[in-house]
Structure 1
Amino acid sequence: MKILVISDGKYGDRAAKTIRKKFPRTQFIVIRERNPRMLIDEVSLSTELIEKIEWAELLIVYVRHPDVVMQICEFNKPSIIAVDFGKGYLRQVKSINPNIVMPKAMCNVHPDTGIPEVDTYFSEYGFPTYKIELENSQGDSPIIKSVELLVESPCGASEGALDNLIGKKLIPETITAYGVNIRHECREPISVMLTHDDIADSSASLHIINLLEAIEREIPEQFLSNTVLGEYAKKRRQEYKCLKQASDLFDNYL
Structure 2
Amino acid sequence: MKIAILTDGAYGDRAHETIKKKFPCDIIKVKYYGDFDEIVIDKEILNKLNDYDLFITYTLNPDLTYEIVKSINRKSFVLVGAWKGEGFKKQLESFGNVFCPNLMCEIDEEKLDKYVNKYPQLKEFLEYFGRPKINVILDNNKIIRKIEILREAPCGSTSKTLEEFIGKKFDDNLLLNIGLRVQHFCRAGKIRIFVEKEGKKTKAGKLLVEGITPLI
TM-score range (shorter-chain normalised) is 0.7 to 0.9
Q: How does 1:217-232 map to 2 (within 5 A)?
A: 218=215
Give me the TM-score of the superposition, normalised by structure 2. 0.85
The CA deviation string for residues 2-25 of structure 1, in whole angstroms up to 9 with x for no partner, is 1010011111111011000111x1
CA RMSD in angstroms comes to 2.4
SS in 1 for 2:144: strand
Distance change (3 Å), C-alpha of 1:29 and 1:98: same
Tell me if structure 2 keeps the 8 A contact 1:62–1:189. Answer: no
Per the alignment, residue 135 of structure 1 pairs with: 139
In the TM superposition, residue 66 of structure 1 has moved relative to its aligned partner by 1.5
SS in 1 for 2:41: coil
Give me the TM-score of the superposition, normalised by structure 1. 0.73
Higher strand share: 2
In the TM superposition, residue 189 of structure 1 has moved relative to its aligned partner by 4.8
Q: How does 1:82-161 map to 2 (within 5 A)?
A: 82-95=81-94, 97-111=95-109, 112=113, 113-114=115-116, 115-136=119-140, 141-161=141-161
In the TM superposition, residue 203 of structure 1 has moved relative to its aligned partner by 0.2
Per the alignment, residue 203 of structure 1 pairs with: 204
In the TM superposition, residue 191 of structure 1 has moved relative to its aligned partner by 7.8
Higher helix share: 1
Unmatched runs of 5 consecutive residues or more in structure 1: 220-254
2:149 is the alignment partner of 1:183: no
In the TM superposition, residue 60 of structure 1 has moved relative to its aligned partner by 0.6
SS in 2 for 1:124: coil
SS in 1 for 2:55: strand
Tell me if structure 1 keeps the 8 A contact 2:59–2:82. Answer: yes
Per the alignment, residue 16 of structure 1 pairs with: 16
Tell me if structure 2 keeps the 8 A contact 1:4–1:52. Answer: no
* Distance (Å, rounded) in 2 between the aligned partners of 1:203 and 1:46: 35
Per the alignment, residue 170 of structure 2 pairs with: 170
Letter in 1 for 2:51: W
* Distance (Å, rounded) in 2 between the aligned partners of 1:61 and 1:3: 11
SS in 2 for 1:5: strand
* Distance (Å, rounded) in 2 between the aligned partners of 1:92 and 1:177: 39
Number of aligned residues: 205
In the TM superposition, residue 103 of structure 1 has moved relative to its aligned partner by 0.5
Identity between Structure 1 and Structure 2 (%): 29
